[in-house]
Amino acid sequence: MTTEENLLRKVSVGWTPQVLQAMQELLDGGSKIAITAHRSPDGDAVGSVLGLFHLFAAQGLKASVVLPDRFAAFLDWMPGAASIRFHSEEPEATEEIIGTADVLFCLDYNAPDRAGSLAEVIRTCSAKRIMIDHHRDPDAFAELMVSDPLCGSTCELICDWALSSGCWSDMNLEAAQCLYTGIVTDTGSFRFPSVTGHTHAVIAALLDLGLNHAEVHEATFDDQSLSRVQLHGFALSERLKIWEEAGIGVIALGLNDLERFNYVSGDTEGLVNRILGIRGVQMAIFMRESDPGKVKMSLRSKGMVDVQALASAHFSGGGHTNAAGGVLLGLSLADAKAQVDAVLENWIIEQR
């Protein structure tokens, strides 16, 4: 049994023969292809768009990658990153790319609003939209939807497409590096419950292609600025609130805190996981004031603590059982903290 045959036994159920055929028909038409992901792109978002970009290139297909805004600097090393266009920097040019596309890939988000400033052009463009995502409760906005909340990352879904469509032979080192990055980051370095034996089998197959996972890990996790390290230390020592009996940890950082440590996009990445790593903490919440009147939130949990339900019900967000995001609008950081405290107090009472 070949590697491909072995892996095919466990690919995501989202890749049905009908979906595969429909997607291939769109690609066979010599279509103009655009690839997008969600705002504030993380490793899975960037890894999936670039992984698909490299797979298409290996098949002789040219695609344009457009993201709403820039990602953290520690992902700049990824092959193909320099070719990405950002709506925040080139609004007219990027809207034209999407507006004139025949096929639009929507990766790692399940509703246009998750794409931030690109939401309207995604809704109104004439392109056939293909959504590939692993978040719960998707909106029915795409003509073709591959949605698998049981999968740990969109990058794993892209690997499953390569297997299911018979184009695993097009998996080159550049694609493998990008897809591995998305898998390792979105699974919390393989510690979340969504990780399966198939996840590890896919990783093994990528390693067999010559992927140096140590180099990827070092480039992604071990290249931090001094100011970022100092910001994390400050957050944990000066802004951490622990609800000991409930097993909840919360950090809230304001614009003044961020400016003090010369914040750049991505500097708070991973901070919520540091909270979750504290002994006794079952739920971690990180709040960041991104603009006056706008507070972004990241929620993580262990076991059966469902932060997706909490984010969806109270913080205009969503995600997975153990990893979710949200936002509070029209509130100062102090008022946002007070609102979160009130929600948590009620949540604690409901759990008793």
Question: Tell me, what CATH number does 15's domain have?
Answer: 3.90.1640.10
Same domain membership, residue 230 and residue 191: no
- pLDDT at residue 193, rounded to an integer: 87
Same domain membership, residue 245 and residue 205: no
* Cβ atoms 320, 148 nearer than 8 A: no
Q: pLDDT (tens digit, 9 = 90+) per residue, 86-128?
A: 999 999 999 999 999 999 999 999 999 999 999 999 999 999 9
* Cβ atoms 112, 122 nearer than 8 A: yes
CB neighbours (10 Å) of residue 210?
10
Same domain membership, residue 95 and residue 203: yes
Same domain membership, residue 273 and residue 217: no
CB neighbours (10 Å) of residue 13?
11
Same domain membership, residue 206 and residue 272: no
Same domain membership, residue 49 and residue 175: yes
Domain around 261: 226-351
Amino acid letter, 351: Q
Same domain membership, residue 145 and residue 66: yes
C-alpha–C-alpha distance, residues 165 and 4, integer Å: 11
Those residues whose C-beta lies under 8 Å from the C-beta of residue 181, and which sit 6 or more positions away, are 43, 46, 47, 75, 78, 155, 216, 220
pLDDT band at residue 1 using 50, 70 and 90 as cut-offs: low
Query: Which is more confident, 72 or 130?
Result: 130
Token pair 């739920």 is at which residue?
283
Residue 242 backbone dihedrals phi, psi, to 5 degrees:
-110, 125
C-alpha–C-alpha distance, residues 289 and 256, integer Å: 9
Choose one of 221, 248, 270: the last residue of a domain: 221
C-alpha–C-alpha distance, residues 54 and 276, integer Å: 35
C-alpha–C-alpha distance, residues 255 and 257, integer Å: 5
Residue 8 has pLDDT above 80, yes or no: no
Residue 153 backbone dihedrals phi, psi, to 5 degrees:
-165, 155
Q: How many domains does the chain have?
A: 2
Say what the pTM is.
0.89
Choose one of 202, 221, 240: the last residue of a domain: 221
Closest C-alpha to 160, from 306, 344, 310, 14: 14
Same domain membership, residue 193 and residue 172: yes
CB neighbours (10 Å) of residue 2?
8
> Which contiguous run of DSSP H or E holds residue 308?
helix 307-314
User: Burial code of 237-269, b = ≥16 C-beta within 10 A, e = fewer?
Assistant: eebbeeeeebbbbbbbbbeebbeebebeebbbb
Same domain membership, residue 133 and residue 115: yes
* Cβ atoms 309, 288 nearer than 8 A: no
Residue 352 has pLDDT above 70, yes or no: yes
Residue 62 has pLDDT above 90, yes or no: yes
C-alpha–C-alpha distance, residues 337 and 109, integer Å: 27
Instruction: State how beta strands 85-86 and 63-67 pair.
Output: parallel
Same domain membership, residue 138 and residue 250: no
Same domain membership, residue 322 and residue 298: yes
Closest C-alpha to 171, from 201, 211, 139: 211
CATH of the domain at 329: 3.10.310.30
Q: pLDDT (tens digit, 9 = 90+) per residue, 281-327?
A: 999 999 999 999 999 999 999 989 999 999 999 999 888 889 999 99
Chain centroid offset of residue 54 CA: 18
Q: pLDDT (tens digit, 9 = 90+) per residue, 179-234?
A: 999 999 999 899 888 899 999 999 999 999 999 999 999 999 988 899 999 999 99
Token pair 């950081």 is at which residue?
333
